Structure 1
Amino acid sequence: MKLAALALALGLASPAFAAAPLSVDFEKNWSYGEEVANTYEGVSFTNVLGLSNDVDFSYFTNAPSPLGVAFVQLDGVVNTAAYMNVAAGVTGGLSFHYAGTDAAVINAYSGLNGTGTLLGSVTLSATGDYSTWKQAVLSFAGSAQSFDLTGLNGVAALDNIAAVPEPSSIALLLAGGALLMARRRRA
């Protein structure tokens, strides 16, 4: 009984269970030019469009989630930026898939809309086209509330964005599982 209580306490202490995990897959039939905006609970986008493949538009045929992807489209507007804001914050890292014709950069910031401290950056190499996808991880120290996607303008598409669990969260989860297994073996 004590082992089971300890396992439950370890699991509940894990930050991974503190909030719903971040997962954005853009699986929707997007109208051409439709903004992603506040489509996902707790996550908002600025100057990011959703794109879907159809008979006339099949650039993203090999995307991880086949129905839709996100694309930054600033149309040459001066002093305009594109952001993904997560008000609750993301700690440690962000995983995502991308495709694009040129190199691009994503930055993580401690405040909303690219404010606060720069926590980390990742440079994305060109995949050659929009049907070749790569997975990337942006690792950073601290909790990021926004991701500057401005450097992706016209050169990259995004799909399957997810928070990367902190190593301490994984360790706590594994420790709790090990204690439960030990309890079952003793019984």
Structure 2
Amino acid sequence: MKLATLALALLAPFALPAQAGTQFLVDFERTWDYGQAVDASYAASGVVFTNMLGLSNDPAFAPYYSNSPSPLGVGFVQLDGVSNTTAYMNVAEGVSGVLDFFYASPTAITGAIKAYSGLNGTGELLGVFDLAANTGAEYDSWTAASFAFAGKALSFDLSGAANVVAFDNFSALPEPGEVSLVLAALGGLAIARRRRS
């Protein structure tokens, strides 16, 4: 019994949602009408976009966006520089430390993504992420990226990636080390219980 209590005390910090921020996956996995805004399509996961379009990997776009991690669709920031000048991904509960995603870009982009402590690019700037060129005009090569920043971000400014970069599978998931620790502790509890039986 003492072992179980100790294990639960050690695991408690990893179970607190306030520390971890929200967990989500935005995979753009649906058939989008041409030019359809993503906006609140992922609001149930706590994620809302401004000026992000969904693009489908259907025969009309072939061979564009092939080989993307999610086969049905991708996201693309589109700004006209007049009425649409900024693009954001807001995460209601925030993201702590790391945002993972895939991207395809025919050119290198300095300052492609910026993490902020407030919604819609307000508050403290927590970090800036540059993207290297990784594909041709057909957007058929994809790179996994991890944007590490200091603190808890409520928004990501995607304006720097506008009209150039395709995105897929934005996610904020538990660190693999944390998952391994939780599984190891639960396994230890199971072994301890069996020995007592």
- Give the TM-score of the pair, scaled to structure 2: 0.84
Deviates more, 1:19-28 or 1:103-112: 19-28
- In the alignment, residue 171 of structure 2 is paired with which amino acid? A
Q: Is the 8 A contact 2:50 2:88 kept in 1?
A: yes
Cα 1:91–1:101 change in 2 (3 A) is: same
Q: Which residue of 2 aligns with 1:3?
A: 3
Q: Is the 8 A contact 1:94 1:162 kept in 2?
A: yes
CA distance, structure 2, for counterparts of residue 107 and residue 138 of structure 1: 9
Which digits, 9 at most, give the CA deviation of each residue in 1:70-114, with x for residues without a partner?
000002336710000001101011000000111221110000000
Q: Which residue of 2 aligns with 1:60?
A: 65
Root mean square deviation, CA, Å? 2.4
CA distance, structure 1, for counterparts of residue 90 and residue 84 of structure 2: 18
Offset of residue 122 of structure 1: 1.1
Task: Indicate which of 18, 22, 25 corresponds to 1:23.
Answer: 25
CA distance, structure 1, for counterparts of residue 193 and residue 17 of structure 2: 23
Q: Which residue of 2 aligns with 1:49?
A: 53
Q: Is the 8 A contact 2:51 2:84 kept in 1?
A: no
Q: Is the 8 A contact 1:81 1:149 kept in 2?
A: yes
Deviates more, 1:62-71 or 1:3-12: 3-12
Q: Which residue of 2 aligns with 1:118?
A: 125
CA distance, structure 2, for counterparts of residue 34 and residue 131 of structure 1: 21
- Unaligned residue ranges in structure 1 (runs of 5+): none
- In the alignment, residue 96 of structure 2 is paired with which amino acid? T
Q: Is the 8 A contact 1:16 1:165 kept in 2?
A: no
